[in-house]
Structure 1
Amino acid sequence: MTLRLAGLFADAKTLWRRERALVLPVAGLFFLLPSLGLLLLLAQGAPELESLSDQAALLAFYRKFVEANVVPLMLAYLAVDYGIFALFNLYLRGDGQMLGQVLLQALRRLFPFLVIEVAVSLGFQLGFSLFIAPGLFLFARTWLAAPAYAERPGAGLIEAFKQGWVRSGGVTWLLFLLVTAMVFVAGIGAMAVASIVTGLIATIAGGGAVPEFLSYLLLSVIGAGVWTALVILRVAAYRATEPRQGI
């Protein structure tokens, strides 16, 4: 079982080209639209947000925002997770199915997948709150559990976590590096680029509702692209860590 970054990105590129006609509508519906909706919702408090100067006040603002918008936030996160699971099903169990069949297949087994994603997220947050490295390590060791469940849902959740742990055993350092880059480089870098571009749009257009909306749309497109790329990389990593059978 080998895994190299160059091969991983090459496989991800091949996977994207193979199914992009189906990936694009899934990404648009379940990544882009929820992101855009949340940004527009957050924009309602933008004047209040701009007046905040210290970190404590900023955290209080976001806490208030979350409390006031629990249902929309939950629906948005549910949509994103459903999109992720749909793409997993497309690549690992699609077998030439139409988009509607893939979405229905994902819907039927969505709840156990959500359990996996919540467990992985909680483990990451717990480890990250104590020390950064343990959180990233635990996240790397369980990162492949979700695609394992998507490929073999009949095996159950415990087997999915077992498969994720076993598959990541020989390549933990590489997945650790990939997860670190995903969390710190890709996420922060994408937001930095988006902030610069949206600032340029606002400056050139001189303000107004339309440039503001275009800025939010651009942020959502970038976010959807990042989510899509991460899902495909996850599939590529899962396929690359397939245990080799003996002779």
Structure 2
Amino acid sequence: MTLDVNGVFSDAWRLWKRDRDLLIGVAGFFLFVPELAMKLFVALPPKTPATLDQAALKAWLDAMESWSNQYSLLVVVLALVSLFGVVAVFTLYLDPERPDVARGLVRALRLFPRFLLLSILVAIPVYFGLMLFYLPGFYAQGRLLLAAPAVVAEQPYGAIGSMSRSLTLTRGYGLILAGFGCMSLLAGNLLSWPFEAIGGTLDGAPMANPVVAALLDIGSAAGATVGVLGAILVQVALYRRLTSSRGI
């Protein structure tokens, strides 16, 4: 079986052009703002020690404990806000009741616990797959890529049911969807990387003033937001095409 990859991207692009103002508003508040806050107010966690001797390991664990005590609550809150933004965008496109923005946000709030559980369950095979030379993780992400759309569009599917539904819809497209899975995992990082690389280069240099640092953080957060939003629109387009073509 073949999948029209160009058609999927064209569908996603049409969604962006049609709903640009709406998406900028929702994604700007629920995706961009938490991402920017993470970069502005959360320090990077301590780097793992180069050597595993007892003294270095103890120093790293102490530093991690200090970092966790200071930032862990904020990190969790910002991550939950971002995840709610993802649910909200899916809801506006795929909820069976086709709600407006206000009702869509309320319905997204009701779906949030189910979506949170789904995110955790999907992350487990993807994480272990990435540990095995990346490709198994990309494959797992691709096969489970439609679980998030399904949990919104096919209520009252739960987390497990949505994962099973995704496996059914993506059967026969594993390798193609591994590419989509790779894109969804890495797009945000790739788009934000240039700004982070420049920031690392300027760190401590005369030009590294607060204004430059803030602009780089804004650029990095915008890149990550574009990556996440693009992945959502591609998932919506994929879901619509595969449910239509398979009739299941």
Please give the range of the TM-score, normalised by the shorter of the 2 chains. 0.7 to 0.9
- Are 1:170 and 2:164 counterparts? no
1:101-140 to 2 correspondences below 5 Å: 101-140=103-142
- Are 1:241 and 2:242 counterparts? yes
Q: Is the 8 A contact 1:202 1:211 kept in 2?
A: no
1:57-96 to 2 correspondences below 5 Å: 64-93=66-95
Give the TM-score of the pair, scaled to structure 1: 0.83
Give the TM-score of the pair, scaled to structure 2: 0.83
SS at match of 1:242: helix
Identity %: 25
Give the deviation of 1:27 after TM superposition. Answer: 0.9
Give the deviation of 1:180 after TM superposition. Answer: 2.2
Q: 1:97 to 1:66 in 2, by over 3 A?
A: same
The superposition leaves residues 143-178 of structure 1 with CA deviations (integer Å, 9 ceiling, x where unpaired) of: 111100110122333331221111111211111012
Bigger Cα displacement from structure 2, 113-122 vs 135-144: 135-144
The superposition leaves residues 112-152 of structure 1 with CA deviations (integer Å, 9 ceiling, x where unpaired) of: 11111110011211222244222222222111111001101
Match of 1:210 in 2: 211
Q: Is the 8 A contact 1:92 1:151 kept in 2?
A: yes
CA distance in 2, matches of 1:85, 1:164: 17
Match of 2:40 in 1: 40
Q: Write the letter of the residue equivalent to 2:231.
A: L
Match of 2:190 in 1: 189
Give the deviation of 1:53 after TM superposition. Answer: 8.6
**Which structure shows the higher helix fraction?**
1
Give the deviation of 1:204 after TM superposition. Answer: 11
Tell me, which stretches of 5 or more residues in structure 2 are unaligned? Answer: none
Q: Is the 8 A contact 1:12 1:232 kept in 2?
A: yes
CA distance in 2, matches of 1:133, 1:68: 35
Match of 1:159 in 2: 161
The superposition leaves residues 18-60 of structure 1 with CA deviations (integer Å, 9 ceiling, x where unpaired) of: 22222111111111111111111234x69x88xx994877976
Q: 1:9 to 1:40 in 2, by over 3 A?
A: same
The superposition leaves residues 94-115 of structure 1 with CA deviations (integer Å, 9 ceiling, x where unpaired) of: 7663311111110011101111
Q: Is the 8 A contact 1:34 1:80 kept in 2?
A: yes
CA distance in 2, matches of 1:147, 1:55: 44
Higher relative contact order (CA 8 A, sep 6+): 1
CA distance in 1, matches of 2:245, 2:179: 23
Q: Is the 8 A contact 1:201 1:211 kept in 2?
A: no
Give the deviation of 1:237 after TM superposition. Answer: 1.2
- Are 1:26 and 2:26 counterparts? yes
CA distance in 2, matches of 1:21, 1:226: 17
Q: Is the 8 A contact 2:183 2:231 kept in 1?
A: no
Match of 1:223 in 2: 224
Bigger Cα displacement from structure 2, 83-92 vs 13-22: 13-22
SS at match of 2:42: helix
Q: Write the letter of the residue equivalent to 1:165.
A: L
CA distance in 1, matches of 2:134, 2:65: 23
Q: 1:160 to 1:41 in 2, by over 3 A?
A: same
Tell me, which stretches of 5 or more residues in structure 1 are unaligned? Answer: none
CA-based RMSD of the aligned residues comes to 3.1
